[in-house]
Structure 1
Amino acid sequence: MKTRFAAVLPLTLAAALAVAGCSGGDPAPENADAGNTAQAGKEGGHAEEEGEIELTPQQIRAAGIELVRAVRSGGGALTLPATIEGDPQGMQVVSAAIGGRVVSLTRNLGQSVGRGQTLAVIESREAASLNAEIEAARARLGLAESNLRREQRLFNERVSPEQDLIAARTAATEARIALRLAQQQVAAAGGQGGALNRVSIASPLSGQVVARSVTLGQTVAADAELFRVADLSRVAVTLALSPADAGRVRPGSDIEVVAGERRSVARVDFVSPILDEATRLATVIAVIDNRLGQWRVGEPVTASIRLAGGDAGAGSVLVPQSAVQTVEGRQMVFVRTEHGFRATPVTLGAPSGDNVAVTSGLRGDEQLAGANSFTLKAELGKGEAEHGGH
């Protein structure tokens, strides 16, 4: 049974042609109405074509129909939905190892910060104790170095024995170590020394503040998260592949990332040798150069990855499984046309992840209806019913 759906011929145009045919006074042939109707169909816009569904771009967007592309690859390819994430190597949590009251915040969300620059200042008794230890250690070091200089001078003048010089050197070394230890305790608290009862929390890397968990005047506990700083010059896209597909992906492979009119090439950085316990899929992480800032963390994208070797899917076209609908027992995809979509029968091969191989029916460069393509199936059935009733 052929499925036909197109723009219905306007009744006013058909009626006008019928009147014009009778006004000449000559009896119209039996097939005049059929001829006029066919001619009107041609003059009225678009001739009926099998499986055609006319939709404007606005109607496509309103229906939530996602447009995807078929992919042809000799070695196989996968087209998967993915999400832009921060580069795992370029994001750090900023916290303070001591608790206290936040008395200063120097950065807000989205603002840039350099490595070592102050993000916040915390005031507490513990900070006062740490800073006091630094001051005491610095004073002891100054005294020990002064004593060492004196003992060196006395030893050179043969007034003081070498044993006293060695003792002075040891005391100066110990004082130096004590000062470094006190300074490292402040650094371990997550910041740098400030006023006697305050500690400054510094950024561990250059980037942007992407999260802030504190407000001015808030009392925070030790090890509480204060900020997250991310270097967004590189972002990542994470894919979950079946073990068979993951085995055909190598670090350094290219992945095309698409969102609307924007396209970038990501490079595979990591292929997990361990499967996720829940999904039994392997994680693949690819990194994108984002120095131009065109990608945002959390943004949904479509990622196409070309698989190396193997025969699965070889010489076939891969489409997302969401693009395939069953109409009257036949597998169909909806190919984007100038005026909407055309229902196209296809022959399917083996599935590959979230995609399925199409062995016949497509060239491999078509744009298809993906998510929500079932609305087109419903519209196709409605159009068929309307034509079947006339």
Structure 2
Amino acid sequence: MIAKHRLYAGAALGLAAAAFGFGVARLTQPDAPAAHVAAPPAAETGPRDALTISPQAIAASQIGVAAAGTGTLDRAIIAAATVQATPDADAVLTARAPGTITRILVRMGDTVRAGQTLALIESRDASQITADRAAAAARVGLARRQLERERGLLAQGVSPRADFDAARANLSVAQADALRATAAAGAVRVTGDGRFVAVTSPISGRLTMTAARLGQYVAAETDLFHVADPRRLEITAAVPPGEAARIRSGDRVQLIVRDGQTIAGRVRAATGVVDPQSRTATVIVTPSASGSALAPGQMVQARIFASGGVAHDGVLVPQDAVQTLGGRDVVFLRTAGGFQAKPVQIAGRSGGTVAIADGIKAGTRIATRNAFLIKAELEKDMGGEE
């Protein structure tokens, strides 16, 4: 029994010594590293507002700098348009009578004047028309002599009044026949010798098409030549129906040709009729006297400054100068060290120009060409640096 108590006492003393040793070791050891706790994510930051850049870098990047201007921004309507000759400046020349083409006096591209003969057609119809005209003229002469004889007989009391009236009626009929024959000869352009029908141009212009061939037999009304006057042109612009209601006669138009040249014009008429195929309305534009760069069939772009649109007076800047940075419309002010983003309020846009309602004043120097390069550089820090 005594031996068992001694055993329990020894075990208790051993446990106590072990516990004391563990406590001493904890107190004498250096602090263990704290468990890694994830730091709260940093809040995302927007792009910077300022960019430091040297004049040499600005020149190398081809960033344009200019002063903001002033003026009036009209709400322009952009429309595709086609150049064509006016109805009285585009002539189709046909054969007035059947026959054989014996002479062609012009070539493609030649300039012709009104009344000029372009070709001759030898025609039997021309001979018949000439003969009819001569016979009608002879009948007029005969009827006139008979009337003069009846007038003399009536004055002498030899012939009754009825014979004189009949002679006068015969003269009127003969004159009507002669007028018809002369008109027929003129309509087919019969030459003086009565052998040929002349193909003549009713307008001055340039020969744009020829289908005539020497020795070719053609029927009446065969299409032989086209003549157009390039000085008398009009432009048909196709505009959306909703925009067409704002256009008025006399509205200013800017025509842009393929090489970037601009030509002034005016709206002559707005038809107000919507084409069922294209679903667009047609607006007729008359170019100014400087429209020599235009040609029939040419495609151009028309900027129509509709008087029914909204106009904005104030600060005007190029469209490329306005960028979106951090969800805001900004322009980049030129500073001593580079550029500073400046929020602006846009009043309207039209044809590559932006009207600024608030944010900058006229004369403020801003980045214009390649301003997007500044935006791209400022947005590099979006979300914080890594």
TM-score bracket relative to the smaller structure: 0.5 to 0.7
Looking at structure 2, the residues matched to 288 and 255 of structure 1 have their Cα atoms a distance apart, in angstroms, of 8
1:105 corresponding residue in structure 2 = 104
| Residues 1:176 and 2:195 are matched in the alignment | no
Out of 207, 212, 215, the position equivalent to 2:213 is 215
Partner of 1:135: 134
Verify: 1:249 aligned to 2:247, yes or no.
Answer: yes
Q: Report the Cα distance in structure 1 between the residues aligned to 2:89 and 2:360, rounded to whole angstroms.
A: 42
Give 1:279 deviation, angstroms.
1.0
CA RMSD across the alignment: 4.8
Give the superposition deviation at 1:158: 3.3
Which aligned pairs between 1:146-165 and structure 2 lie closer than 5 A?
A: 146-165=145-164
Note the 1:1-390 alignment, pairs <5 A: 46-47=56-57, 52=61, 74-189=73-188, 191-259=189-257, 260=259, 262-290=261-289, 293-311=292-310
Task: Give the length in aligned residue pairs.
Answer: 305
- SS of residue paired to 2:170: helix
1:143 CA drift (Å): 1.9
Does the 8 Å CA contact 1:109/1:212 hold for their aligned counterparts?
A: yes
C-alpha deviations, 1:353-381, integer Å up to 9, x for none? xx799677999xx9x99xxxxxxx9xxx9
Question: Structure 2 vs 1, CA of residues 280 and 253 (structure 1 numbering), >3 Å: closer, same or farther?
Answer: same
What amino acid is aligned across from residue 232 of structure 1 in structure 2? P
Give the Cα separation in 2 of the matches to 1:276 and 1:347: 39
**1:102 offset after TM fit, Å?**
1.4
Secondary structure of the structure 2 residue equivalent to 1:47: helix
The structure having more radius of gyration, on CA atoms, is 2
Give the 3-state SS of the residue equivalent to 1:248 in structure 2.
Answer: coil
Look up the match of 1:372. none
Does structure 2 retain, via aligned residues, the 8 Å contact 1:75–1:315?
A: no
Q: Map Cα deviations across residues 70-124 of structure 1 (whole Å, 9 max, x no partner).
A: xx85441124443432123322212134222112223333333333332322222
**Whole-Å Cα distance in 2 between the matches of residues 224 and 317 of structure 1?**
58
- The one-letter amino acid of 1:301's match is V
Contact kept in structure 2, 1:106 and 1:120, CA below 8 Å = yes
Deviation at 1:348, TM superposition (A): 9.9
Q: 1:302 offset after TM fit, Å?
A: 3.5
Structure 1 residues 317-358: Cα deviation after superposition (integer angstroms, max 9, x where no partner): 8999xx9xx99x99x9xxxxxxxxxxxxx9999999xx7996
> Given the superposition, is the C-alpha separation of residues 270 and 153 from structure 1 closer, same or farther in structure 2, using an over 3 Å criterion?
same
Q: 1:318, 1:48 → 2: CA distance?
A: 19
Normalising by structure 1, we get a TM-score of: 0.61
Per mean C-alpha deviation after superposition, the further-off stretch among 284-293 and 223-232 is: 284-293
Cα pair 1:82 1:303 within 8 Å, conserved: yes
Deviation at 1:174, TM superposition (A): 0.8
Matching residue of 1:60: none
> CA separation in 2, counterparts of 1:275 and 1:152?
68
What SS is found at the alignment partner of 1:211? Answer: strand
1:185 is displaced (CA, Å) by 2.7
Given residue 141 of structure 1, which amino acid in structure 2 is its aligned partner? V
Task: Please give the alpha-carbon distance, in whole angstroms, between the structure 2 residues aligned to 1:349 and 1:279.
Answer: 32
Relative to the length of structure 2, the TM-score reads 0.61
1:294, distance to aligned residue in structure 2 (A): 4.3
SS at match of 1:142: helix
CA shift in 2, pair 1:155/1:209, >3 Å? farther
CA distance in 1, matches of 2:349, 2:211: 44
Structure 2 letter corresponding to 1:251: S
Change (3 A) 1:210 1:263: same
* Range with greater deviation from structure 2 (173-182 or 307-316): 307-316
Give percent identity, aligned residues only.
30
Q: Deviations over 1:20-41 (max 9, x none)?
A: xxxxxxxxxxxxxxxxxx9xx9
Q: Deviations over 1:275-326 (max 9, x none)?
A: 1111110011112244884433334433221012245999898999xx9xx9
Q: Is the 1:92–1:229 contact (alpha carbons within 8 Å) kept by the matching residues of 2?
A: yes
Give the letter for the 2:162 counterpart.
Q
Instruction: Work out the CA distance in 1 between the residues paired with 2:164 and 2:144.
Output: 11
Post-superposition CA distance 1:119-168 (Å, at most 9, x none): 32222222322222222212222222222233223333433332222122
Equivalent residue of 1:166, what SS? helix
Structure 2 unaligned blocks of 5 or more: 1-45, 64-70, 330-343, 377-386
How far apart are the structure 2 equivalents of 1:310 and 1:177? 61
